[in-house]
Structure 1
Amino acid sequence: MRAISNDKVNSSYSLLRSKKSNSKVAKQVGVSRTTVQKYRSSLKMCGNVDEGGRPSLISQRMVNYIRRLVTLGRKNNAVEIQKALKEEFGMSPKHRETPSVGQIAPTLDCG
């Protein structure tokens, strides 16, 4: 496998940040789509690529608080979490907007 020049790598990152698709970046820079996908993944780990979509109704602070409640075993379901949010933050998102224990559990880093 040949090494990819720094110029091509930097061009790929720049195009990815400008929200170009993997195939367009690959064609424009002259590398494979797999290589571009690896670059996109590394940007996501750095937190530099906006995923887009609808903004979350709960803040990252609330998500961290909910994780802490669940991992410490203080709250076991969405109703208990919703009550805790109301006490802690003075607001309560609708039940369907409150992440369940099952939705948060896969994202927990227990290792």
Structure 2
Amino acid sequence: MTIVAILSTRDASGEKSYRAIAGEKHSVGKTAGQALDALTAQLGETEFSALLVIQSFHPDTFFSAQQQERLSELMRLWRSARDRGQELLPEQQAQLDYLVEAELRAATARTAALMQPENS
């Protein structure tokens, strides 16, 4: 099964977009569905079975406001570099990769917390 994370980001003008990520592959779209469709095409799977993780839009104990802000900032830088045909600086790319993975782990932890039976 493929695990896909979908992150909401904003560009320098404040326009919202979505980034879908599965391992080394990623895509961007104006909607979560567009990003997912573009990613699915890259994966080349005729029968797509995946666990979708959509980023929480509010800071929580799993992914802080500071982490969200830095992730958005790095995504803006990534888009700008991509549009110029360049790449992020290695330390920026490493931090972006780390934060994407951290958000995926946070989403997994959120899901696990939601699935826990409530202690009455």
- Larger Cα Rg: Structure 1 or Structure 2? 1
Q: Which has the higher helix share?
A: 1
Q: Which has the higher strand share?
A: 2
TM-score normalized with structure 1 length? 0.25
Higher relative contact order (CA 8 A, sep 6+): 2
